[in-house]
Amino acid sequence: MSKKVVVIGAGPAGMETSTYLANFGFDVDLIEKENQVGGKLNHWDRLFPSMRKGDEVKEFLRKGNKFSNINLLLNTEIENVEQIDNKFIIATNNNKIQADAVVIATGFEIFDATKKEEYGYGIYDNVITSKDLELLFRQNKKIVRADGKPVKRVGIVHCVGSRDEKAGNIYCSKVCCVTGVKQAIEIHEANPDSEIYCFYMDLRMFGMQYEELYKKAQEEHGVQFIRGRLSEAAESLDGSVIVKVEDTLSGRPLKMSVDLLVLLVGFVPSQGTTKMGNLFGVSFNPNRFLEYSDEHTGTGLTNVPGVFLAGTCSAPRTLTNTILDARSTAMRVAGYLNAWETEKR
Amino acid sequence: MKVEGKRHIWKEYQKDIADDKYWYARSCIRQNFFPGSETAFLRILRNELGKDIFDSQCHTSCTGIGYHCDIVPFETTMTVVARQFSLMSEKGYKNYAASCITSFGLYTEILETWESHPHLLEKTRDNLYKSTGRTFEIPEDLAHTSDIIFKFRKEIFEKRKHSLINIQTGKPLRGVEHIGCHYAKMFPHKGVGGAEYPQVLAGMIEDWGGEVVDYPERRHCCGFGFRQYVVKANRGYSVANSHKKFESMEPFKPDFILTNCPGCPMFLDRWQYFIAETEGKTYGENGLGIPVLTYEELAGIVLGYDPWELGLQMHQVSIEPLLDKLGYEYDKSGKYKALDGTNLGKPENPTNLKITC
């Protein structure tokens, strides 16, 4: 009888981990609290840096699950966990499952932008988040002001809730810089007469072709990159948003009016990640994500034997790195369940 | 503007405010700038609300202005503040009510310092005892006096003679609020409504029938900024700050400016005169300025107090147009009479800023 692995969370990490574990010959239950697979990929339109549709990647992941005969349990939430010897008895809202290993792939949430009160999200009509903008792209909606007027000038604020001690998040969310560049291009493509200003601290274009995308934004779309963090936003009489920034390259304060202000919200651990960490006794890192047993050699492993991590429940990651991490974790699970000598290092 | 978004934030920043038995610490400068305000506060608390409030004659400055101008060391400031607390303790009061925003901010800063650095509290106790022989208790409750008026805003409105309604149009009067920088910008959770969208004055305007107008430079300093004004060479910065605010609020056509800091009403009122006389620019209707009020003055207006007992004749910008919008009945000829009826004399009219008297 094959050994059973429960994978919690059917976002990209959970889907890809499941595919590889099933191909290794394990019996896999993939648990998802929502009524569909795909996680945050369901909210995303096009992906950096290639601008391919996110749905294409979702379809790739879904095919993997389909070919691998995975037992997908939608609308299922874990309520309790017991560990007896090396077995995990997992009680869900629908059933009880006995597992030999568990993979937590419960991912992230976006930072709640209302916490950066000075930016006015949820208060000013024309302040939105990168997630809201992505939804507009997905729905093929026009990028216009809340009153329906065209946008002539757009501000994009980087690092909202990331690298921000005041917000309690000192870490970099990794994807926001290049997302800002991607979205600036997309706004300009949709509104060729618009001017776009990105307000940043650093631009971390670490991935292949990110730098090219950044260059393209400037050369082909005229996107202006201004180094300086927003101090505040306010609403003017006509509903436009007045922003104050210190341009730290010129050393001067800057005040300008934009029709739309987009906040590039970072990652925070999802409620599911926190809940699973507590249920399974997995330790948390100082940034409140789940902790690998060793940052260099223990990726995928936790302090609890038999409990593994995949994807953004342990740290912010790009989609590419999430899929890589998922495959890597599948291998660590296989090593554990097959008692490979390499896993005893 | 989504008002519900503001209300959501307000819920995050509510604080306990004692409901009786206050020890009152006056401001160093308010009695000179707008002398009716503190008197009105005591009248409202004692006569309208029936509260026990002790008005000490023995307390000193908190040293806030000197502290923020970098001429009084923090250790000295803590010892002086400890003496204020000692005066309160010896009268048996536990709820400290500060009239000044800077004092409120400073007391908050000191209480936070003592909580996180207990050895500084012990050192301050030692310093106070050695210098005065006094001991003190830490207040159970610290409130700014605008917090207290906010707390009782509904009770005050029940006794109203006027709502903040323009009787000619039937519409709410439009008020812009200006919060003193030291109220909540340093410790957002110590201010009602927090630092970015404070509720303390907005709540009064809304619950007294008016409408709050949010304008882009609402958060900006009034221009006092201590060293902007106290250092004479910097006074251009002071008027530049106020100017920035007036230019920003002008398109919203506010009927009045409401403030809760000693310096803010002074600078927002007097700089309107200065700008009018130097630049020829006025910000109210028909060459008038925008009236600037303290929260006690506005409460007094809602309660129908004699405007001259409230000290409204001490304002540079004429207050009468606002009173007329409210349908206020008052003796216009009493503007320049002292409380005993003697004539104080009428000041010269400005050249550009229109006044009514």
Q: What is the pLDDT of residue A1?
A: 65
CATH architecture of the domain covering A113-267: 3-Layer(bba) Sandwich (3.50)
d(CA A7, nearest CA chain B) in Å: 37
Residue at token pair 């630049």: B279
Nearest C-alpha in A relative to B194: A117
Option in B194, B219, B252 nearest A237 (CB): B252
To which H or E segment does residue A277 belong? Answer: helix A271-280
- Amino acid B210 reads G
Task: Please report residues of B whose CB lies closer than 8 A to that of A123.
Answer: 1-2, 5-6, 9, 197
Query: What is the per-residue pLDDT across A99-141, written as a single tens digit (0 to 9) for each?
Result: 999 999 999 999 999 999 999 999 999 999 999 999 999 999 9
DSSP A245-274: EEETTTTEEEEEEESEEEEEE-EEE-HHHH
Residue of B210, B222, B203, B304 lying closest to B263 (CA atoms): B222
Are the beta carbons of A133 and A189 closer than 8 angstroms? no
d(CA B7, nearest CA chain A) in Å: 9
Residues 6+ apart with CB under 8 A from B72: B63, B66
Query: What is the per-residue pLDDT across A253-278, written as a single tens digit (0 to 9) for each?
Result: 999 999 999 999 999 999 999 999 99
SS3 A169: strand
- Residue A256, exposed/middle/buried by CB under 10 A (0-12, 13-18, 19+)? middle
Residue of B25, B115, B111, B127 lying closest to B75 (CA atoms): B127
Task: Please report residues of A whose CB lies closer than 8 A to that of B197.
Answer: 117, 123
Strands B95-98 and B141-144: parallel
Alpha helices in A111-242 (DSSP H): 130-138, 176-190, 210-221
Task: Please report residues of A whose CB lies closer than 8 A to that of B218.
Answer: 234
Question: What ipTM was predicted for this assembly?
Answer: 0.90
Domains of chain A by residue range: 4-107+270-344, 113-267
d(CA A118, nearest CA chain B) in Å: 6
* Interface contact B196-A236, CB threshold 8 A: no
Q: What is the pLDDT of residue A69?
A: 87
Query: What is the per-residue pLDDT across B274-295, written as a single tens digit (0 to 9) for each?
Result: 999 999 999 999 999 999 999 9
Low-confidence stretches of chain B (pLDDT beneath 50): none
| Tokens at A68, concatenated | 């691998």
* Interface contact B219-A114, CB threshold 8 A: no
Distance CA B90, CA B93 (A): 8
B247-250 long-range Cβ contacts below 8 angstroms, 24+ apart? B247/B217, B248/B215, B248/B216, B248/B217, B248/B218, B248/B220, B249/B176, B249/B213, B249/B215, B249/B217, B249/B218, B249/B283, B249/B290, B250/B283
CATH architecture of the domain covering A4-107+270-344: 3-Layer(bba) Sandwich (3.50)
Phi and psi (nearest 5°) for B108?
-60, -45
Residue of B32, B29, B42, B99 lying closest to B311 (CA atoms): B32
Query: What is the per-residue pLDDT across A57-97, written as a single tens digit (0 to 9) for each?
Result: 999 999 999 999 899 999 999 999 999 999 999 999 999 99
- Residue B236, exposed/middle/buried by CB under 10 A (0-12, 13-18, 19+)? exposed
d(CA B285, nearest CA chain A) in Å: 18
Beta bridge mates, B54: B23
CB of A119 within 8 Å of any CB in chain B?
no
Q: What is the pLDDT of residue A140?
A: 95
Residues 6+ apart with CB under 8 A from A81: A88, A89, A90, A91, A279, A280
Residue at token pair 């910000």: B283
Task: Please report residues of A whose CB lies closer than 8 A to that of B217.
Answer: 234
Task: Please report residues of A whose CB lies closer than 8 A to that of B196.
Answer: 117-118, 232
Q: How far is CA B341 from CA A311, B308, B323, in A?
A: 81, 11, 22
* Interface contact A122-B5, CB threshold 8 A: yes
Distance CA B265, CA B180 (A): 10
* Interface contact B1-A123, CB threshold 8 A: yes
Q: What is the pLDDT of residue B229?
A: 86
Task: Please report residues of B whose CB lies closer than 8 A to that of A124.
Answer: 1-2
Distance CA B216, CA B239 (A): 18
Task: Please report residues of B whose CB lies closer than 8 A to that of A117.
Answer: 9, 194-197
Distance CA A298, CA A302 (A): 8
**Domains A4-107+270-344 and A113-267 alike in fold:** yes
The B-side interface with A (CB below 8 A) comprises: 1-2, 5-6, 8-9, 194-197, 214-219, 251-252
